[in-house]
Amino acid sequence: MATYEVRCECGRTIPVEARLAGSRTSCFCGRTVPVPNLSQLRRAAGETAIPRTVVERIRLAIRAGELPDNRFCPFNGRPVDDTVRIRVECERVTVRQRGPSWWGQFFSHVVFGWLALFLPRDQGRDEFGHDIVVDVPLAISASARESLAAALGRKSLVDALRGTPLYRELLEEYPAADVWIIDDDPA
């Protein structure tokens, strides 16, 4: 369990475990020292909330069982009773830790033209130098599986994913992402 510190009026710092957040502890000097709540302890320790990339947030939401969250099938509008997994292969990231390389900028200009000037420059610490591939679950109606088997174009998959806010955010960040179904076996 993480350990934090609180300071007593006498000047000593007292280590406290996170479970003591919001309660009290005692100091060697005999004083009772209130322990702030956890978010205050974390802020004081410099553990401020680090903004997460949309890819990280999607992975966390999947792990937490929060995705898929659509209740109606994006392909036929019926209530969902099945799930497909869709692979979203995002752009190869050319961003480096200290801003884009010369080659990355040149590449962005070739691909995006002047729009490259408006692309976000900092895309996160763990993304540079990797291909970003995210497998996302999408709830569907089992009755839509037949039309899934028939070759579904990228556009209809993208449209289907856009019904889920986090996936829409992902596709806005990586508009050129490749998208295809990787699991169309009945569960």
Q: Which residue has the tokens 């998959």?
A: 157
Query: Least distance to Zn ion from the beta carbon of 3, Å?
Result: 18
CB 89 within 8 A of CB 171: no
Q: Nearest approach, Cβ of 25 to Zn ion (angstroms)?
A: 10
Question: If you ran DSSP here, which 8-state letter would residue 98 be given?
Answer: T
Site string for Zn ion, 27-46 (x = CB under 5 A): x-x-x---------------
Give Rg (Cα) of the chain. Answer: 24
Q: Which is closer to Zn ion, CB of 6 or CB of 58?
A: 6
24 forms part of the interface with Zn ion (CB under 5 A): no
Please, what is the end-to-end C-alpha distance for the chain in angstroms?
38
Q: Does 10 bind Zn ion (CB under 5 A)?
A: yes
Task: Please work out the total of residues on this chain that contact Zn ion, with binding judged by CB under 5 A.
Answer: 6
Dist. CA 124–CA 142, nearest whole Å = 37
Backbone angles phi, psi at 172, to 5 degrees: -75, -35
Judged by beta carbon, residue 8 or residue 116, the one nearer Zn ion is: 8
Q: Quick one: 44 or 93, whose CB is closer to Zn ion?
A: 44
Contact residues for Zn ion, defined by CB under 5 A: 8, 10, 12, 27, 29, 31
